[in-house]
Structure 1
Amino acid sequence: MAAWLLAVVAALSACDSAADPGSDTSGVRAPTGPTRLEALPPRTDLIDAQVVQWRSWRSVDDRTLEVTVTAGPADCYGADPEVTESETAVRLRIRVGLLPEAAGKECPAIAKESVVPVRLTSALGNRTVEPLS
């Protein structure tokens, strides 16, 4: 797998430098297309769950949001979204904690951006999305 990845990077670097002869070929460019963030599983049985600030959100469909948070890897951590809906606003609080099945395993201490799926009881429409305090 690593050899395949290196071959792809080398091929892309060669294509990039061929397209722009004056470009710097000493490094590898970061991908420019959209990347798919890992989804944290929504759970209510998390261990030591803490409220985290969410950064952004996007509408997946009329009743589902994806909220961006920083957390550990999804095989160790989950999220417990709390939603309050009114006619004018959707208010969100996200708690992140350890999955019960990950309590005995070694989880890497890394922070990464992930998304939390949030299901609304009614369509978002023109309502605002804001933090629940």
Structure 2
Amino acid sequence: MRHHPRTAVTVVALASLGVLTVPTAIATGEPTEDPAATPVITVLTERPALPGQTTFTDNPAIVDPRPQSIEAWNRLPESNALAVQFSSGTPTCYGVDAEVQETADIIAVKLRTGTLPEAVNRPCIMLAVFGTLTVELNSPVGHRAVVSIT
């Protein structure tokens, strides 16, 4: 297994944020009863925004939120923001909510998707769209790594 210094910094920084703990299976060598409880951390690639992406607005009121993977991110003209890129259902039925934690070295984004409150008990089409969401930051991205937590 190759170890990358940036990955090691990412793991240490995420542990200091409290978003990463060492799973029991790793610490003891014994399997855990709930492997889904272990977060998956992915270092994201910076990629220019693609034409035709659907813009979503952060909505913490979504119903039945569940983890959503992020495909990439891009810088925005606003210095204290970035955009995450993902796939989702149509914005007439589905929404997203983002939680951000920052350190000097890392920006960790946890994205969730769910049903819009006004779409509960309403039929929705099964159509995927490429979405983008602006995420506000406390300070500019600079040279920090951007990671997704699912």
TM-score of the two chains, using structure 1 as the length reference = 0.70
Is the CA contact 1:40–1:77 (under 8 Å) kept in the aligned structure 2?
A: no
Q: How does 1:14-33 map to 2 (within 5 A)?
A: none
- The reply to whether residue 71 of structure 1 matches residue 92 of structure 2 is no
Residue in 2 that maps onto 1:95: 112
1:52 to 55, 58, 68: 68
1:52 Cα deviation from its structure 2 partner = 1.1
Number of aligned positions between the proteins: 100
Is the CA contact 1:41–1:74 (under 8 Å) kept in the aligned structure 2?
A: no
Deviations 1:70-122 (A, max 9, x none): 11011211111011100011011100011101113321111221112111111
User: Which secondary structure does the structure 2 equivalent of 1:79 belong to?
Assistant: strand
1:36 Cα deviation from its structure 2 partner = 3.0
1:65 Cα deviation from its structure 2 partner = 1.2
Segments of structure 2 that go 5 or more residues without pairing to the other structure are: 1-49
User: Which secondary structure does the structure 1 equivalent of 2:118 belong to?
Assistant: helix
- The reply to whether residue 39 of structure 1 matches residue 66 of structure 2 is no
Looking at structure 2, the residues matched to 71 and 65 of structure 1 have their Cα atoms a distance apart, in angstroms, of 19
- The reply to whether residue 129 of structure 1 matches residue 146 of structure 2 is yes
TM-score of the two chains, using structure 2 as the length reference = 0.62
Segments of structure 1 that go 5 or more residues without pairing to the other structure are: 1-33
What amino acid does structure 2 have at the position aligned with 1:93?
K
Instruction: Specify the structure having the higher radius of gyration (Cα).
Output: 1
Q: CA RMSD in A?
A: 1.4
What amino acid does structure 1 have at the position aligned with 2:56?
L
Runs of 4+ in 1 over 4 A off after TM superposition: none
